[in-house]
A and B are shown apart, each in its own frame.
Chain A
């Protein structure tokens, strides 16, 4: 009874806080100082059409490196915890129901499109919404479809690990190049900015986001593969 009462009280409190926020909310008429700086300086400084990407990859590039590191640690820990129960041999003793015709044909049709779309999202991160994280997640969902339609197939852990390592090294390497050739760590002006709005523009942003996309895709894929291959924990 006391527990129930406490829950209701907590909900009412949260509701009161949010109502207070909601009632006193007045939309800004103009952008504040930081937002105005980003909105005005992104195009001339960095040549990126998508301001969000410019902030994530360049202005706040170090935070992105941190996020990628957190994701890498998560994938590594999932691999570490699940590796004890994994069995490389005799996958056939699982008696799974066979995947349906719909799933198999759908996978064959959709998988190339999904992978292509993922690659499109992270290579066009500086022009359209999306970027490395979104593209990587889309690629990983393609891998998930493959895992669902062929549950007994084994994936190359080595290949995933190599892609992830190279992408991570290249990401940090480009960041260090920024210190040497341009204004600082992860500065995108180590390459010419190019014409605003074209695919090969905005300096190193497309390259950095491609590596981030590959890294995120490889990390999510390794988590999914580890989960699906684990048995009898």
Chain B
């Protein structure tokens, strides 16, 4: 039980850290998108810890998988438009 709480705390800190990185990060949009995906991945592990494997699968597949790549698709499209 204590191990679970410790892991949940670590995950929560990681999620807050990646979320701040995603919203306030000054380096590049790509890194922000990756940080948002990482926050989703940590959230899915958190769901697994809380005993909700169904939600964890959805979060991992859609939140951290498809959405991240969707952002990259759109980012690439916007960049290509800028160069024209």
When the two chains form the complex, which single residue of A52, A130, A137 contacts B65, counting CB atoms closer than 8 Å?
A137
B82 interface hit (Cβ, 8 Å): no
Give B13 Cβ to nearest chain A Cβ, in Å.
16
- Residue ID in chain B nearest A53 by CB atoms: B54
Q: Is the CB of B62 closer than 8 A to any CB of chain A?
A: yes
Residues of chain B with a CB closer than 8 A to A169's CB: none
Is A48 part of the contact surface with B, judged by Cβ < 8 Å? no
Known contacts A52-B54, A224-B66; 4 additional CB pairs below 8 A are A53-B54, A131-B54, A144-B66, A224-B70
A13 to chain B, nearest CB (A): 18
Q: B residues engaging A (CB < 8 A)?
A: 53-54, 56-58, 61-62, 65-66, 69-70, 73-74, 77, 81, 84
Instruction: Write out the residue numbers on chain A whose beta carbons fall within 8 Å of the beta carbon of B66.
Output: 137, 140-141, 144, 220, 224
A47 to B74, CA, bound (A): 44
A144 touches B69 (CB 8 A): yes
12 sample A-B contacts, Cβ–Cβ < 8 Å, listed by A number: A50-B54, A121-B57, A129-B53, A129-B56, A133-B58, A137-B58, A137-B65, A137-B66, A138-B61, A224-B73, A227-B73, A228-B73
* Distance (whole angstroms) from the CB of A51 to the closest CB of chain B: 10
**Is A230's CB within 8 Å of the partner chain B?**
yes
Q: Are A227 and B70 in contact (CB under 8 A)?
A: yes
**Chain A: minimal CB distance from B23 (Å):** 12
Q: A233 — which chain B residues lie within 8 A by C-beta?
A: 77, 81
Q: Report the Cα distance A16→B77, complex, angstroms.
A: 41
Is A134 an interface residue when CB atoms closer than 8 A count as contact?
yes
Complex Cα spacing A60 to B38, Å: 32
Contacts of B65 in A (CB 8 A): 137, 141, 144
Closest to B53 in A: A129
Whether A130 lies near B70 (C-beta < 8 A) is no
Question: Max chain A CB contacts within 10 Å: which of B57, B69, B73?
Answer: B57
B74 touches A134 (CB 8 A): no
Across the interface, name the chain B residue whose C-beta is closest to A118.
B61
Contact of B54 among A130, A144, A224, A228 (CB under 8 A): A130
Chain A contacts for B53, CB-based, 8 A = 129-130
Within 8 A of B (CB), among A142-188: 144, 148
B74–A137 touching, CB < 8 Å: no
- Chain B residues near A52 (CB-CB < 8 A): 54
Please name all residues of chain B whose beta carbon is closer than 8 Å to the beta carbon of A53 when the two chains form the complex: 54
